[in-house]
């Protein structure tokens, strides 16, 4: 009889739970440090932006994805590759604007909110706003100026979490003076 080795917990699940709990502790500290939810939301967006600026290099190196040809392709890569790689989920891309410059990412299960309830008196808190900042920062590094915000949030009683992304303009490569 072959004896099966005892399996421990899935290390990815443990690290996801640790990440979720650590993120929750950080948001709780921000709520204590700032008086208004708007200030906390700005800080979360700023942190996310800084993460996105750095994360894009890792994403491009690990994914092998080349330059996207249009916003639809970019949305597909964000949903099917980036979210899957970093958060283990695949949001649905939907609600395209008629001009094709705006779309939504629908998150059925947001891993950041797994063990979370918004505290009383914080109805304006965008708990997962770090995701908006990360998207904005990463896309800016590939010359896309975008605006990103939450439209719906399961923590606020909505049936789904929805992130809206609007393309503003393509950024020009900045060449340092004297290097053109």
Question: Which two three-digit tokens encode residue 112?
Answer: 């950041």
Look up the pTM and report it. Answer: 0.86
Residues whose CB is less than 8 angstroms from the CB of residue 60 and which lie 6 or more positions away in sequence, other chains included: none
Res 1: pLDDT = 47
Q: Where are the beta strands (DSSP E) in the chain?
A: 92-94, 102-107, 144-152, 161-170
95 versus 176: the higher-pLDDT residue is 95
pLDDT in tens, 13-57: 557 778 788 888 999 999 999 989 999 999 999 999 999 999 999
* Percent of the chain at pLDDT exceeding 70: 88
Q: How many angstroms from the chain centroid is the CA of residue 158? A: 18
Listed in sequence order, the residues at least 6 apart from 18 whose beta carbon sits closer than 8 Å to its beta carbon are none
């Amino acid at each position: 009889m072959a004896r099966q080795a005892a399996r421990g917990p899935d290390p990815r699940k443990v690290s996801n739970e640790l990440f979720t709990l650590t993120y929750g502790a950080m948001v709780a500290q921000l709520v204590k440090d700032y008086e208004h939810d708007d200030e906390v939301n700005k800080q979360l967006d700023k942190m996310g932006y800084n993460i996105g600026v750095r994360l894009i290099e890792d994403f491009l190196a690990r994914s092998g994805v080349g330059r996207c040809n249009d916003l639809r392709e970019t949305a597909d890569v964000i949903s099917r590759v980036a979210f899957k790689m970093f958060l283990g989920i695949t949001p649905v891309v939907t609600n395209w604007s008629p001009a094709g410059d705006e779309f939504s990412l629908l998150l059925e299960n947001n891993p950041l909110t797994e063990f979370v309830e918004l505290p009383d008196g914080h109805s304006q808190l965008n708990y997962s706003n770090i995701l908006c900042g990360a998207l904005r920062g990463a896309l800016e590094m590939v010359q896309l100026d975008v605006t990103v915000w939450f439209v719906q949030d399961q923590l606020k009683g909505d049936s789904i979490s929805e992130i809206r992304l609007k393309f503003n303009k393509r950024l020009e490569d900045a060449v340092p003076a004297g290097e053109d």
